[in-house]
């Protein structure tokens, strides 16, 4: 596969995943996230005039831009906004939004930046083979007073706790690049899964495994949250975060 074919494949895979929850909008409305950045902004103002922000796995940059506006509003500081993605097709839409774009293989390409105060990795780490390399690269790029936010799906969410004992493939795991429906033994469920396409999920996480991974790669976990995609089960965010469909982990360099 040449570079053009690889870029087209990565862009096509991203387009297949349009139903991913809008974590950018979700997080900027969360009270704990607002409080964390309000506090950080007060500290950052003492030592710098501009916040350097990079969104890894930025796609077309629409969410990146939204999160940058949030940072500017909450901290009262100017933001330099950057995006990194494996697909070169992301470059033009990002640059049209005023985002500095870096085309980068996140499995092997060292991040070409230093002294970043905010790094976001939303719905991306589950696509990465060499997660340790990526986190170490982020660790080398983030400032001592910086913060990393990661969201991903939860393999032990409430839905999978029902499916797995029945011998059914857990949601958000993939065994093929062509079909998602393998292993779904209930015919109605299988038909529904056949309407979707694989997005390239190769790393399943729980909140605890993600926290352990971060700590072993030079980060200290500040806090973690459950993110429930199904409206009727939003109450799980308050009573059992490790049963939610998704998760947010916030960390800083240790």
Question: pLDDT for 10-20, tens place per residue?
Answer: 545 555 444 45
Token output for 128: 């990465």
pTM of the model: 0.91
Least confident of 84-88, 158-162, 236-240: 84-88
d(CA 140, CA 170): 35
Task: Say how many CA atoms lie within 13 Å of 60 toward its Cβ.
Answer: 8
CATH of 3-154+204-253, one of 3.40.50.150, 3.30.1370.110, 3.30.70.1230, 3.30.470.20: 3.40.50.150
Q: Which pLDDT score is estimated for 105?
A: 87
- Name the pLDDT band for 250 (thresholds 50, 70, 90): very high
The pLDDT mean for the chain works out to 91
* DSSP one-letter code for 164: G
106-137 pLDDT tens trace: 887 678 888 999 999 999 999 999 999 999 99
The per-residue pLDDT for range 196-234, each reduced to its tens digit, is: 888 889 999 999 999 999 999 999 999 999 999 888 999
Q: Is 49 exposed, middle or buried (0-12, 13-18, 19+ CB in 10 A)?
A: exposed
| DSSP tag of 185 | -
Q: Which of the 8 DSSP states describes residue 212?
A: H
Q: Is the pLDDT of residue 2 over 70?
A: no
Cβ density class 31-42: b for 16+ within 10 Å, e for less: eebeebbeebbe
pLDDT of 1 > 70? The answer is no
Give me the mean pLDDT over the 162-185 stretch.
93
Average pLDDT over residues 43-48: 95
- Backbone φ, ψ for residue 80 (5° rounding): -95, 115
Over residues 183-195, the mean pLDDT reads: 90
Degrees (nearest 5) of the Cα angle 119, 200, 134? 35
Find out whether 190 and 181 touch, Cβ atoms under 8 Å. Answer: yes
Domain ranges, ordered by start, for the chain: 3-154+204-253
Distance between start and end Cα atoms, the chain? 39
| DSSP category for residue 200 | -
Give the pLDDT confidence score for residue 16 in this predicted structure. Answer: 44
Tell me how crowded residue 114 is: count the other CB atoms within 10 A of its CB. 10
Q: 83: closest CA among 67, 75, 72, 71?
A: 67
In this structure, are residues 190 and 184 in contact, taking their beta carbons and an 8 Å threshold? Answer: yes
């Amino acid at each position: 596969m040449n570079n053009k074919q690889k870029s087209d494949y990565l862009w096509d895979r991203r387009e297949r995943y349009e139903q991913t929850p809008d974590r950018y909008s979700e997080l900027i409305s969360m009270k704990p996230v607002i409080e964390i950045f309000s506090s950080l902004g007060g500290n950052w103002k003492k030592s710098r005039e501009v916040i350097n922000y990079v969104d890894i796995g930025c796609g077309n940059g629409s969410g990146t831009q939204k999160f940058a506006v949030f940072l500017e509003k909450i901290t009262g500081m100017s933001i330099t906004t950057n995006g990194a993605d494996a697909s070169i097709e992301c470059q033009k839409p990002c640059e049209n939004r005023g985002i500095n774009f870096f085309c980068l293989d996140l499995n092997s390409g060292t991040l070409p930046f230093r002294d970043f105060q905010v790094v976001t990795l939303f719905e991306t780490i589950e696509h990465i083979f060499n997660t340790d390399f990526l986190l170490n690269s982020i660790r080398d790029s983030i400032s001592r007073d910086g913060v990393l936010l990661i969201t991903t799906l939860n393999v032990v969410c409430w839905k999978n706790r029902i499916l797995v004992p029945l011998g059914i493939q857990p949601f958000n795991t993939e065994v093929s690049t062509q079909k998602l429906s393998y292993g779904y033994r209930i015919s109605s469920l299988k038909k529904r899964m056949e309407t979707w396409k694989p997005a390239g999920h190769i790393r399943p996480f729980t909140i605890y495994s993600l926290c352990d991974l971060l700590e072993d790669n030079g980060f200290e976990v500040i806090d973690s949250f459950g993110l429930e995609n199904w409206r009727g089960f939003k109450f799980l965010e308050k009573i059992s975060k490790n049963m939610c469909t998704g998760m947010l982990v916030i960390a800083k360099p240790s």
